[in-house]
Amino acid sequence: MWIGVVTLFPEMFAALTGHGVIGRAVQQGLLELQMFNPREHGQGAYRRVDDRPYGGGPGMVMMIEPLLQSLQEARAQAQERSLRPWVVYMSPQGRLLRQAQVKAWSQEHQRLGLILLCGRYEGIDERLIEMAVDAECSIGDYVLSGGELPAMVLVDALTRWLPGALGHGESAQEDSFSEVWLDCPHYTRPPSFQGHEVPAVLLSGHHAEVAAWRHRQRVLRTASRRPDLLSAVELSAQERGWIAGMVEDHTDGA
Ligand code: 9WO
C-alpha cells in the first residue's frame, strides 16, 4: 500500500517506520510511506506556509498554495504507480475512525493509495478542503497540536490488515468479533500471582469451553463498558441471557 503524507514535520514519522510491525512492513515493501513537506513550497525567503486568519482572532491558518503544491507532488507520485488516491484530512471535525472502516479502507486503498493531509496551527484554509479533500477523519474527540499523530494512528491501523504484515503468532483478529465486541481478558504464567488466579477454564485444556468463556467475556465487557456498541449487533438469545444475568451475577469481567 502506498501512502503519501503531507506534513510540516516528516521526521515525526520515523517513530512509526523504525519499529515493530510497521517497520517490518516498510522493509518488506508491503507499505510505502512517502513524505511531502509544504515548507518546500513556502513563500519568500522564510518559506512561509501560514498566515493570519480573516475575521481576526488568535493563531495562524495554513495557506492554500504550499499545501496544494505538496498535494500535486503526491498525486504525481501516485500516478507513477498507477494509483488514484483519496486525500484524507486528519481533523477533529471528521468522521470518527472505527475498526470496520479501517478494514474496508485497507482493502480499498491498497488499490487506490492514500494521501494523508496533516494540519498544524489553527488548521487549513477551508477552501482547500472544498477543493482537494475527499474525506475528513477523526481518531477521537480531542484536540491535538497537529494531524501527524492521528495520521500515524491511521497508518498503523491500516498496516495491520495488509497481507503478510503480521507474523505467524500475531493475528489481525480476522473474525467478525473484532469489529463488534471488546476483547476478552488475557493471562500468562504464573497461574497464581499474589493471590490473583488465572480463571480455571483457561487451564482446563477444553478448547470449546475456553472459546465459549472468551466469547461470554467479550459480550459482558462490551455490555458493561461500551453499551453504545451493542446497537450495532443482533444479539443471540444466549448473549441476551448473559447480559440479563450481568447485574445479579456481578460477573461483568470488568
Ligand atoms: C482547535 C480547536 C479549538 C477549539 C475548538 C475546536 C478546535 N479545533 C481545533 C483544531 O482542529 N485544531 C487543529 C490542530 C487544526 C488542524 C490540526 N490539528 C489537529 C488535528 N488537532 N487534532 C487533530 C485531530 C485529528 C484527527 N483526530 C483527532 C484530532
| Residue that has been written with the C-alpha cell 514519522 in this structure | 13
End residue of a domain, out of 159, 177, 208? 159
Residue 169 lies in a domain: no
Residue 177: closest CA among 137, 229, 104, 241: 229
* Identity of the residue numbered 179: E
End residue of a domain, out of 159, 177, 210? 159
Rounded to two decimals, what is the model's pTM? 0.94
Same-domain pairing of 78 and 128:
yes
- CA distances, 137 to each of 13, 16, 127, 134, 162 (Å): 18, 19, 17, 10, 20
Q: Which of 38, 66, 73, 160 is catalytic?
A: 160
Atom of ligand 1 nearest to the CA of 122: 15
Atom of ligand 1 nearest to the CA of 137: 26
Residue 240 lies in a domain: yes
End residue of a domain, out of 109, 138, 159? 159
Residue 125 lies in a domain: yes
7 CB near ligand 1 (under 6 Å): no
- Domain of 235, CATH number, reads 1.10.1270.20
**Ligand 1 centroid from CA 10, angstroms:** 18
- Is residue 92 part of the annotated active site? The answer reads yes
> Which range marks the domain in which residue 244 is found?
192-253
Q: pLDDT (tens digit, 0 to 9) for every residue of the chain, 254 residues total?
A: 999 999 999 999 999 999 999 999 999 999 999 999 999 999 999 999 999 999 999 999 999 999 999 999 999 999 999 999 999 999 999 999 999 999 999 999 999 999 999 999 999 999 999 999 999 999 999 999 999 999 999 999 999 999 999 987 677 765 556 778 999 999 999 999 999 999 999 999 999 999 999 999 999 999 999 999 999 999 999 999 999 998 766 555 45
Q: How do residues 3-59 score in pLDDT, each as one tens digit?
A: 999 999 999 999 999 999 999 999 999 999 999 999 999 999 999 999 999 999 999
pLDDT of residue 252: 57
Residue 177 lies in a domain: no
CA Rg value for the chain: 23
**Ligand 1 centroid from CA 98, angstroms:** 18
Q: Are the C-beta atoms of residues 78 and 111 closer than 8 Å to each other?
A: no
pLDDT of residue 114: 98
- Is residue 58 part of the annotated active site? The answer reads no
- Is residue 122 part of the annotated active site? The answer reads yes
